[in-house]
Amino acid sequence: MELYFLGTNAGVPTLQRNVTSIGLRMYEERRALWLFDCGEGTQHQVLRSLLKLSKLEKIFITHLHGDHLFGLPGLLSSRAYQGGVTPLTVYGPVGLERYIRTTLELSQSRIEYELNIVEHEGGVVFEDEMFRVESALLEHRIDSYGYRIIEKDRPGQLNFEILKHHGIKPGPLYGQLKNGGSIQLADGQTLHSHQVVGKPKKGKIITILGDTRPCPNVSLLAQDADVLVHEATFLQDMEETAHNYYHSTTLQAAHAAKEANAHELILTHFSSRYKDREQLEPLLQEAKSVFENTLLAEEHVLFPITSKSV
């Protein structure tokens, strides 16, 4: 899994950065792409990226502010032209369906694939045999949610030497053992899963927050996360401004990562006052003074997700 930032600016796009959208690339895990937020110009950013809309499976919207949402109708309308014909589900706060249906209807846009819209108010918003996605309300001017993506533990590796010793060839029996079953051998013995399967592979946890100022649900969502993506709109000397606008500072994001025992912190959603990498560097250094394993989000850069257990 890797994170790919399509936009890292707060409020409005600039010549240096686009507004918020984050790709979670899971090509190895489920041959799929998930997007988190879809600010204006996201589909243009996708065209310049390593991401493929043909693999887009889900979009999670944190809140209904334009810099997180205004790119959604265009992307939904044009997705099929980029090979996206498989079903797509969009998750987000109450009001999201009315926004999508209204914009598509008034623009007479035709959707050539199955589009599902799921509104939620937190809790478990998605779960299958591979992943669970939990959400909780943050503290912003409108309802804003964070998402906790939990990869479920995967079975360990088969011990092929033992299987070969017992004369078991690749096929359905491999799957039966890997999934926790037992098989009867030709000599009457029973071979159990735990005898040939190694320790389960610990799943990863990724936390992606919407706009927020410090609140208890940040820690709840970020607890023991392998990666925490947290807004850092301002430097700490603008803490009062951040509070008044329901945003966070660099140090607040860093303290959140430290208190939640996260492994890595990626800062994003930067104020337009910080124009380039040189002006963003103080934000990074300020956060690193509290939480050393901090990175700045950069657009069109892959961020591999490393497990805490490694």
Task: Tell me whether residue 269 is annotated as binding.
Answer: yes
Q: pLDDT tens digit string along 34-81?
A: 999 999 999 999 999 999 999 999 999 999 999 999 999 999 999 988
Domains of the chain in sequence order: 2-154+201-304 (3.60.15.10), 160-196 (no CATH)
Instruction: Out of 37, 67, 128, 153, pick the active-site residue.
Output: 67
Whole-Å CA distances, 126 to 31, 107, 131:
17, 30, 8
Q: pLDDT tens digit string along 181-194?
A: 888 887 888 888 88
Pairing relation of β-strands 32-36 and 21-26?
antiparallel
Task: Tell me whether residue 140 is annotated as binding.
Answer: yes
Q: What integer is the mean pLDDT of 221-239? A: 98
Task: Tell me whether residue 300 is annotated as binding.
Answer: no
Whether 67 is catalytic is: yes
pLDDT band at 240, cuts 50/70/90? very high
Q: What is the mean pLDDT of the chain?
A: 94
Whole-Å CA distances, 48 to 7, 25, 31, 68, 250:
12, 15, 20, 19, 29
Q: pLDDT tens digit string along 91-114?
A: 999 999 999 999 999 999 999 899
Residue 310 scores a pLDDT above 60? no
Cβ atoms of 299 and 5 closer than 8 Å: yes
In the chain, pLDDT over 70 holds for what percent of residues? 99
Specify the pLDDT at position 207.
98
Distance (Å, whole) CA 228 – CA 213: 15
> Residue 191 is which amino acid?
L
Q: Which residues, at least 6 apart from 234, have a Cβ–Cβ distance to it below 8 Å?
A: 241, 242, 247, 248, 249, 250, 271
Task: Tell me whether residue 230 is annotated as binding.
Answer: no
Specify the pLDDT at position 179.
78
Distance (Å, whole) CA 233 – CA 10: 7
pTM equals 0.90
Specify the pLDDT at position 70.
98
Please compute Rg for the chain using Cα positions: 22
Q: What integer is the mean pLDDT of 238-261? A: 98
- More confidently predicted of 4 and 200: 4
Task: Tell me whether residue 63 is annotated as binding.
Answer: yes
Specify the pLDDT at position 309.
63
